[in-house]
Amino acid sequence: MTFFLSLNAIAQISSDSSRLYRQAILQPAHPQDLPSGIHYYTRKKEIDLELNDTLNAIYDLRLLSIAEFKIGNNFSSENHVVEAINLIESMSSKDTLINSRVGLYNQLGRIYRTSNNPKEAIKTFDKALAIANKLKDSVVILNNKANIYKDLHDYKSALTIHSFLFAKRLELKDDNQIGLVADNLGHVQSKLNLPEGLPNLKYALQLRKKNHDFIGLHASNTHLAEYYLDRKDTVKAVAYAKEALALSDKINSSSFKLDAISTLMNMDKNPLIHEYKKLTDSIANAKQVAENKNAFLKYNVAEEQKKTQASILLQEIESRKRLAYQSLALIIFLILIGSYFIYRNRYRKAKIEEIYKTETRIAKKVHDEVANDMYKVMTSLENNLDLDNTILDEMEKIYTKTRDISRENSAIDLRKDFGLQLNDLLLGYKNNNVNVITRNLSKMPWENISELKKTAIYRVLQELMTNMRKHSQATFVTLVFQKEGSKMHIIYRDNGVGCDLFKKNGLQHTESRIASLNGTIKFESKQGDGFKASIII
């Protein structure tokens, strides 16, 4: 049991961590999210490979590629994709991993596009299309492919793809994808001066507003700004560009904000601004070329960083394992303690029941055998006229004692009204010389008291009353019953001669009965000053 509980605890920790870091990669909200996600999934991939868990290792590599791509590390992103594809190719069930292969080829195409390698990008997107078996996947891939044609200003090729996708829009059943298709089609049509361009751009804008698609709205406003800028309507162009800038704040993305600012700069008539933008674009392109040339060196540096990060991650995992083991040990300890108390209570209950059964059995034996035999002897002796009456009196006393012992230890029928039974018991000690008064006995919730406690209360009060009759010479006895929370408080008091508490006149047995049920009984008495017993059970 310990082994399986440990695995479950560790698996839960791992699952929670994976969800957290997956979210950090797919929807980063803070600057440290992507590095943390890379840190985590780098080590997780190594662990999955050590466990021969190839499927999870492939998924780890896909997330690593996405994260590296988002921070602009195209070389590392590409390497993760290639490693994942090689793992798929090594599997006998590779044909069943269509979704993974489609996703990896699409990611590789995006990498080639941002690396200014449109030819390889198109080839890779075509590989993804060849195996894609879901319309939504095909829409994403074809849209990415059409974007490359737009980058190359080959608007006719882009139009062919977007027109095909727009014709399929009713099959998509996804307003976000329909908005994407309509917006891109309208953008290409506007570049070709086709009259359908503006209606499609506005249709996409309204659809995205309806669905609160902020990222889609950013694209729609940017394309509408370009549309009006191309037609020299600067007022409307600026309005849409400013709306795109406002949306970039809602999206909380610096890249979206940079695109919006770049669009606004295109509308400024200051030649210095246009020169500045031209230079920054040129520098960015040169930087990309340099990045591609020095990618191998950067990759080696990144690998060293990943090793350090992997070591930190391993320490984190080990720390969480220790925490899981400690938590498990605490749970087991608590279970053992709880089991001990349950066992102890059951054992104590069994012993109490056994004592009660023994008392009942002895009482029956005394009644059936000893008392009956005594009665027969007394009857025989009564017919002997020469027998001394003193002997008969002594025999009658012995018979009375055996009968009392039998009654005091006879079985109690707990199925009847216990309050009524207890009242009958107590009033049975009432006579011309002794007055017995009870208070609140009938108000007690006897139906909520366990049979063991009822038996103990009955026997203890019986012993107190018997002790009173034999030794106290009392003329007045009171018994008060009180409910105190989950406990019952019974106060016995008589006006007898009292007793020496060190001797207790045989009342030790009452203490053991009450203590066995986690209760308490206290005696108060002075010789010549009555007797009091306080029972809490």
β strands within 363-441, DSSP E = 435-439
- Residue 365, CB half-sphere, CA atoms under 13 Å: how many? 6
191 pLDDT above the threshold of 70: yes
Mean per-residue pLDDT, 41-55? 93
Residues 59 and 126 in one domain: yes
Residues 128 and 1 in one domain: yes
Q: Judging by DSSP bridges, how do beta strands 435-439 and 476-484 pair with one another?
A: parallel
CB atoms within 10 A of CB 318: 10
Name the residue with tokens 């195996």: 131
Please name which of 379, 318, 359 lies closest in space to residue 455, comparing C-alpha atoms: 359
Number of domains making up the chain: 3
Whether residue 467 is contained in a domain is answered as yes
Whether residue 285 is contained in a domain is answered as no
- Global confidence as pTM: 0.48
Percentage of the chain beyond pLDDT 90 is 36
The distance between the two most distant Cα atoms of the chain, rounded to a whole number of Å, is: 152
Structure tokens at 437: 């008064």
359 pLDDT above the threshold of 50: yes
Span 307-344, pLDDT tens digits: 666 677 777 777 787 887 888 888 888 888 877 777 66
∠125-130-132 over CA atoms, to 5°?
90
If you average pLDDT over each of 249-253, 285-289, 373-377, which comes out highest? 249-253
Choosing from 133, 152, 184, the residue where a domain stops is 133
Mean per-residue pLDDT, 401-422? 69
CB atoms within 10 A of CB 74: 23
Question: Which band of pLDDT confidence, cut at 50, 70 and 90, is reported for residue 298?
Answer: very low
Residues 380 and 500 in one domain: no
412 pLDDT above the threshold of 50: yes
For the chain, what is the mean pLDDT?
Answer: 80
Residues 402 and 490 in one domain: no
184 pLDDT above the threshold of 90: yes
What pLDDT score was predicted for residue 117?
87
Please state at what angle helix 175-191 crosses helix 155-167, rounded to 10 degrees.
Answer: 150
Domain assignment of residue 514, given as a range: 415-536
Whether residue 34 is contained in a domain is answered as yes
What pLDDT score was predicted for residue 1?
41
Residues 84 and 39 in one domain: yes
Contact between 291 and 74 (Cβ < 8 Å):
yes
- Residue 383, CB half-sphere, CA atoms under 13 Å: how many? 4
13 pLDDT above the threshold of 80: no
What pLDDT score was predicted for residue 159?
95
* CATH code for the domain in which residue 56 is found: 1.25.40.10
CA distance 61 to 81: 7
Residues 502 and 392 in one domain: no
Residues 421 and 393 in one domain: no
Whether residue 520 is contained in a domain is answered as yes
Choosing from 100, 133, 166, the residue where a domain stops is 133
If you average pLDDT over each of 39-48, 281-290, 513-522, which comes out highest? 39-48
Residues 8 and 104 in one domain: yes
CA distance 138 to 144: 10
Whether residue 313 is contained in a domain is answered as no
Span 467-515, pLDDT tens digits: 888 888 899 999 999 999 889 999 999 999 887 765 555 577 788 888 8
Whether residue 293 is contained in a domain is answered as no
CA distance 507 to 500: 11
Structure tokens at 518: 């986690």
Contact between 61 and 87 (Cβ < 8 Å):
yes
Whether residue 316 is contained in a domain is answered as no
49 pLDDT above the threshold of 90: yes
Cα dihedral 77, 245, 144, 198 in deg (nearest 10): 180
Whether residue 306 is contained in a domain is answered as no
Residues 371 and 496 in one domain: no
Name the residue with tokens 């406690």: 453
CA distance 240 to 222: 7
Contact between 441 and 481 (Cβ < 8 Å):
yes
Residues 510 and 382 in one domain: no
What pLDDT score was predicted for residue 491?
96
Span 96-150, pLDDT tens digits: 788 899 999 999 999 988 888 899 999 999 999 999 988 889 989 999 999 999 9
| Residue predicted with more confidence, 373 or 9 | 373
CA 334 to chain centre: 19
- Residue 47, CB half-sphere, CA atoms under 13 Å: how many? 13
Contact between 63 and 33 (Cβ < 8 Å):
no
Q: Residue 74 contacts by C-beta under 8 Å, 6 or more apart in sequence?
A: 68, 111, 114, 115, 291, 292, 295
Amino acid in position 327 = S
* CATH code for the domain in which residue 510 is found: 3.30.565.10
Question: Which band of pLDDT confidence, cut at 50, 70 and 90, is reported for residue 209?
Answer: very high
Choosing from 133, 149, 168, the residue where a domain stops is 133
Residues 406 and 421 in one domain: no
Please name which of 72, 50, 73, 75 lies closest in space to residue 60, comparing C-alpha atoms: 50
Distances (CA, A) of 74 to 55, 58, 123: 23, 18, 18
Residues 485 and 527 in one domain: yes
3-state secondary structure of 482: strand
464 pLDDT above the threshold of 60: yes
3-state secondary structure of 47: helix
CA distance 240 to 434: 106
